[in-house]
Every structure is written in structure tokens, then in C-alpha cells.
Amino acid sequence: MNLPKPSLEDIEIKLLLEGIYQYYGYDYRNYALSSLKRRIKNFMQLEGLSNISALQERLLHEPNCIARFLLSVTVNVTSMFRDPGFYLAFRNQVIPLLRTYPFIRIWHAGCSTGEEVYSMAILLQEEELYHRCRIYATDANEQVLLSAKNGIFPLKRMQEYTQLYLKTGGKRSFSEYYTAAYDNAVFRASLRDNVIFAQHNLATDSSFNEFNVIFCRNVLIYFNQILQKQVHELFYNSLCTFGILGLGRQESLKFTSYEQYYDEIAQGEKLYRRLN
């Protein structure tokens, strides 16, 4: 049976992604093509380019262009306490498990600008576990990591975040965790005391520790099945026995080759426990 011939555009995109990987080491070759193609086209418009070959030439010959490209094609949509039911389930069902450990290692994989990292740090402080934790917050993009390290977010979003925080079972006034400075909210430095921010690419990098908890929320949906399987293998090998895996609302272990190795511990909230 003859396979459909790929379009010229798809061939150009494949060559573009291969060039970026070979020259810069950023691997987008197994990202979901449809959404990636849309973001590439948006970037081309911003750059005033008419075709992908011209984009490839600019990216490979103008080093400053790659930083703009990475920010444009990497999805950095996030929020503090996004999906509050997830955090409430974590507080009620996972925290009691974590209390049994003398020391807790947590990995936020694909942490973006850090909103979810600060959300978890707040929850752990309220549950008096933060002092026993080391949180590793990683992302492939250095620029969003810098933003995460700063812990500065738009003040206009604090009202929304306060409502979400309350739905997670928050125990204090949310405003205690930040200081208003002009149009920004600067979060308390103590929330970063036990956080290590570091660059890590899920597409190319291997495991670097054993963890009690791994969060990778709303990241896998941008990968194709090959890369999703690779990342699930990475997470499985990085979790200790009975470790916790937290995924995004649109993500699941169902119909993956790793489904049988986990128990779902919070129905509908995408919290899973690795089996022995």
C-alpha cells in the first residue's frame, strides 16, 4: 500500500526541526505536528518571513533568533492552583502519605514560569512539610526558568488566584504570600528556599534523581505518541515505589503501556501511585 506523499510544507518543517536539534540541541521533532505547525506559522508572521526555508536560514545563521523562536513555540500557558480539585485531592489524599517520609523529593517537569511550583510550595508550607522537601523545577526554556526564579507575577491575576487558592482548602489569607509592587505581585522568598530551578529537556535528557512526587501537568498533550511513551518511561524510572505522578486534566495513563504500573488514587484528578 502506498503511503500518502508528505506535503512540501511538512518536509520543510521536518528539516527545520532537525536543523534546530542538530545545531542547538533543542528537540521538537516528536512534538504534536498540528499545534507546532500553527505556532511556527505565527512566529513566521512576527518575523516577516514567507516560507519555512527562510525561517530555517534565519534560525541557523542568526543566534538571537533562536531565543525568540523558543519563546514563541513553547507553550507557557499556566496558572496558580490551576484545576483546584487536583490540589484539594493532593492535600487530602497525598499529603498523609508524604508525612510518612523523612525527606521528600518533588519534580515539577516542564514548570514553565513557575506558578504551579509556588502553588505547591504554599500548600506544603501550610501542611508543615515544606522543610522536609526538595523541589526540582525544570524546563527546557532558560528564559521562562528565569521568570520562575524571580517569583513575580501580574498583580491583576491575584484576585483570580485567591479564588482558586480557597477552593484548594487554603488555610490562610492568600495575600500573606506576596507583596504588591506597582503592577506586580512579588512572592515571598521563603517559598523558594527549597526549590532548585534547572534546565531539563524531556525530549533529550535522562533521569537525574529518584522522586517521591513528579508533576508534569499539561505538557504531554503537546507531544506525539512516541515522545509521550519516552517521557512516561522516564517518569516511571524516576519515581520511587509508591511514588506519586500528577498529570494535567487532559492527560491520562489510560491506553498507555504504563497504565498497569499505577493505581489512580484520586478519581478524575489525574493523581497516580506507582506500584511495586
Give residue 75's pLDDT. 65
Q: Are residues 105 and 211 in the same domain?
A: yes
Please, are residues 105 and 136 in contact by the beta-carbon 8 Å criterion? yes
Give residue 114's pLDDT. 96
Give residue 6's pLDDT. 79
Show the domain range for 96: 84-274
Q: Are residues 132 and 258 in the same domain?
A: yes
Give residue 67's pLDDT. 83
Give residue 118's pLDDT. 98
Give residue 229's pLDDT. 94
- pTM here is 0.85
Note the Cα 16 to chain centre separation in Å: 24
**What residue ranges of the chain have pLDDT lower than 70?**
1-3, 75-77
Q: Are residues 40 and 155 in the same domain?
A: no
* pLDDT digit string, tens, across residues 169-178: 999 999 999 9
Structural domain contains residue 2: no
Q: Are residues 180 and 54 in the same domain?
A: no
Q: Are residues 102 and 36 in the same domain?
A: no
Structural domain contains residue 68: yes
Give residue 172's pLDDT. 96
User: What is the CB-side half-sphere exposure of residue 61 using CA atoms within 13 A?
Assistant: 6
Give residue 76's pLDDT. 65
User: What is the CB-side half-sphere exposure of residue 57 using CA atoms within 13 A?
Assistant: 6
When divided into structural domains, the chain yields a total of: 2
Domain CATH code at residue 103: 3.40.50.150
Give residue 77's pLDDT. 64
